[in-house]
Structure 1
């Protein structure tokens, strides 16, 4: 038997058949995805809507052997290279920046010998980098809190190589989101999508700057994979600062330096801010996690409109339920309900088991914390309680400590009265007292007290409210001496000595 050889004509015919059957071109799903939601969502009222930009596709051409010289077949080959990933990258990559951070630390002598040659107040400077995403044409950038935490200077490098100094608008360590601002106009912006409707198995594209300034150009790095899972809760490892809730999981390669970069869908919309990986080697092992863009934008909007993150309060605490013989749990148990809270008003009681929250399964207190992380005052929350046929709908309110009347003492100390609602909100042992909610840094250093402390007694006078504390200090007018302050801090009781001169 002799082997047959395809002639050039037969080869061209075979290629044409492949193109006709869709093996050489973009799928209908990719084409439909490209046309979805062309413009980004505005961050807050007054910020410009992210501008739509046509995909910047490089054509393949050339007189000698180029795609154009092959006629219609060459054009089909050229089109097949322009995949959904290429088009999505072209939409988002210009808005992905490198975030360059300088940290300054005071160095202390570790031995007597070091103190002989180390000048007092010696400082050490260190540089690090991460990624960020421009979401507003006037310079609003999203990144991670851990990328810029402790920075004394921040600059960003745009994809075109230009450098701009950045200032911190606000940072939320709980969600690991930081909002930066650079002074610029008509900057490239990334179209933003939503985590709602994200499908497990759909394309996921990670865009960031894992190489920082170690390469000659400033264009971001692109890796591709799929959405592996949603609503993942990640417990901290020894190197991480805290938990991550409700994360998007992807196998697109995310490496150190990618933190703060964009996770993008096939339509060219940012669906997440890359934040964390699980790895034994320190590099990508296919377990990357991104913060949903909805959460990041909500935090940015809070900072821009209110100057702080305004999460909501329901007035109940939960605890885990007993696991079955396989170690699985279903639901969480209500451990405490504050009187007069939204939870109390709906009849929820201690011992109730909560199964679902807004159709989201609750298998542990981590799932519950993930729900609370995205709540804002006025939002509704539908809870499915075991034994009830209909969901219980709660209306979230602002935290009691934010709405409580404040009493201002000397040196910028602000107090509020401890109530049952505030006790549950803050997890306090004391049922009454004066909670310090704000204190100037200099006063904290001088007096040895800090925000979060609860004053429960001064000398022999019991303090049950903020007004009691104010009256006590008023009684010290024209007097001087030592004042023993009894307080609660982190669930423990202690004392501080103040030397008063009225």
Structure 2
């Protein structure tokens, strides 16, 4: 059959069967199956989804309300303006308080005896939590426990034999798979939206112990705490956050993996609190320059910038400058992968770390501790400016006050001036505390000059500084000597 005849045949088939597409050369392509039908799934799982409303304590009238007067009513009909002005005056008269505010969210039933999981931010500050089921029954819920670090809360209502969700395995999710959300965006109960998994293991600044699932499912205020289902009707995530510049959905939504959420829920049910594993290290990303400096083929893993004293990491022999490549056999594509891996490890468990030290592979065994709250880092005081040297740095010993603010136990030098040169290009700043240079501790000005004199021109070396209480590795290019005859 000629190409023209094949094209005409394809067009005729397309007219009769809209789902037939034309392939290369005019041949019919495989039939397109279209979008999945979610109707049966929604009918099956909706009874286990709940609407959550909260009443928070009354707050003093805010300046935001003042800002609505009178500009927000400019151009409105006179009767409309008078109505809202009367309302405003009445509210202001009630001892300067705004009426109790109600917030909306979602949740789902984990156990048939009344345990419900939702987001912590849905019930935060609530003096009353109301749970409404699909059959319109309404209950006042009791807060069993909450975990701000993962943004999860467990509620309980006085009811038995409730419909429950079936839990899936979020580790088996793959980007491109269909997922479905049910919740109450803007208070519209049992709204259904669908999309695909966009990515896995997303790290957000707000919750470092959660490897978020990113989707393009439409999530809006009120969806928080609701379930994310796969096509088998299993919960694979808890809808939690959106990335938005407008406050509404813009195609990027984040869900807490159900593996993480279920473990938190069980601990809250059994003990009322959540315990997490702890190594006692501060880590940072490995960029291309640092990877080269540490003898690595590619930028990956978590670079140990600080080992806390009396921590499991110190007892196991972990050092600053080590790069952790695997935790219990799981690869670390970036440093943000480590906190949640350690966090879900039970304290007391022996973990295996595959690291690179000085360009050589090494395996360490470490007994995981229990996460404890760390004091907030202190801010470094303003630096002084004594004379400098060839790297473009001026340094001096730390005072006791500076050492305390910078949280430096021993060694270290205050960087008082950074001029145009290698250190400035590496990102060193005045006020940083210099801890190591090229892997060597610097505890005095004379030691610093000794290390600088031994640096090989043209190479890249690692610089460890303490910045506002947090350690940071930087890659510094050692300058080559100036050509003969140069000024």
Aligned to 2:50, the other structure's residue is in SS state strand
Distance in 1, Cα, partners of 2:302 & 2:32: 51
Counterpart mapping for 1:289-328 below 5 A: 289-322=254-287, 324=289
2:47 alignment partner in structure 1: 94
Counterpart mapping for 1:365-384 below 5 A: 365-384=335-354
Aligned to 1:224, the other structure's residue is in SS state strand
**Residues 232 and 380 (structure 1 numbering): CA distance in 2 closer, same or farther, change over 3 Å?**
farther
**Residues 186 and 351 (structure 1 numbering): CA distance in 2 closer, same or farther, change over 3 Å?**
same
Distance in 2, Cα, partners of 1:325 & 1:336: 16
Scaled by the length of structure 1, the TM-score of the pair is 0.57
Match among 189, 192, 196 for residue 226 of structure 1: 196
Deviation of 1:199 after TM superposition, in Å, equals: 1.6
2:157 alignment partner in structure 1: 182
**Residues 233 and 399 (structure 1 numbering): CA distance in 2 closer, same or farther, change over 3 Å?**
closer
Cα pair 2:208 2:340 within 8 Å, conserved:
no
Deviation of 1:378 after TM superposition, in Å, equals: 3.4
**Residues 316 and 325 (structure 1 numbering): CA distance in 2 closer, same or farther, change over 3 Å?**
closer
Match among 361, 384, 394 for residue 366 of structure 2: 394
Match among 119, 126, 132 for residue 101 of structure 2: 126
Aligned to 1:105, the other structure's residue is in SS state coil
Match among 299, 320, 328 for residue 350 of structure 1: 320
Deviation of 1:88 after TM superposition, in Å, equals: 3.2
1:196 alignment partner in structure 2: 171
Gaps of 5+ in 1: 5-10, 16-20, 26-79, 237-241, 403-426, 432-489, 492-502
Distance in 2, Cα, partners of 1:357 & 1:186: 41
Distance in 2, Cα, partners of 1:382 & 1:88: 42
Gaps of 5+ in 2: 1-7, 10-15, 21-28, 67-88, 292-297, 375-404, 410-467, 470-487
**Residues 286 and 118 (structure 1 numbering): CA distance in 2 closer, same or farther, change over 3 Å?**
same
Deviation of 1:323 after TM superposition, in Å, equals: 5.2
1:273 alignment partner in structure 2: 238
Aligned to 1:133, the other structure's residue is in SS state strand
Deviation sequence 1:197-256 (CA, Å, 0-9, x none):
2122111111111142x5xxx4x11111111111001235xxxxx667310011121122
Give the aligned CA root-mean-square deviation in angstroms. Answer: 4.0
Query: Is 1:210 aligned with 2:185?
Result: yes
Cα pair 1:234 1:244 within 8 Å, conserved:
no
Cα pair 2:209 2:343 within 8 Å, conserved:
no
Aligned to 1:196, the other structure's residue is in SS state helix
Counterpart mapping for 1:95-114 below 5 A: 95-107=48-60
Cα pair 2:208 2:339 within 8 Å, conserved:
no
Distance in 1, Cα, partners of 2:334 & 2:32: 47
**Residues 400 and 102 (structure 1 numbering): CA distance in 2 closer, same or farther, change over 3 Å?**
closer
Aligned to 2:43, the other structure's residue is in SS state helix
What is the number of residues matched between the two proteins?
Answer: 328
**Residues 338 and 244 (structure 1 numbering): CA distance in 2 closer, same or farther, change over 3 Å?**
closer
Distance in 1, Cα, partners of 2:338 & 2:249: 29
Distance in 1, Cα, partners of 2:269 & 2:238: 19
1:246 alignment partner in structure 2: 211
Match among 285, 296, 307 for residue 250 of structure 2: 285
Deviation of 1:308 after TM superposition, in Å, equals: 0.8
Cα pair 1:91 1:190 within 8 Å, conserved:
no
Counterpart mapping for 1:484-499 below 5 A: none
Cα pair 2:210 2:260 within 8 Å, conserved:
no
Deviation of 1:151 after TM superposition, in Å, equals: 0.7
Scaled by the length of structure 2, the TM-score of the pair is 0.59
1:157 alignment partner in structure 2: 132
**Residues 400 and 106 (structure 1 numbering): CA distance in 2 closer, same or farther, change over 3 Å?**
closer
Query: Is 1:256 aligned with 2:228?
Result: no
**Residues 278 and 308 (structure 1 numbering): CA distance in 2 closer, same or farther, change over 3 Å?**
same
Cα pair 1:235 1:244 within 8 Å, conserved:
no
**Residues 367 and 120 (structure 1 numbering): CA distance in 2 closer, same or farther, change over 3 Å?**
same
Match among 296, 304, 324 for residue 334 of structure 1: 304
Cα pair 2:209 2:339 within 8 Å, conserved:
no
Distance in 1, Cα, partners of 2:287 & 2:115: 46
Aligned to 1:298, the other structure's residue is in SS state helix
1:70 alignment partner in structure 2: none
Cα pair 1:88 1:265 within 8 Å, conserved:
no
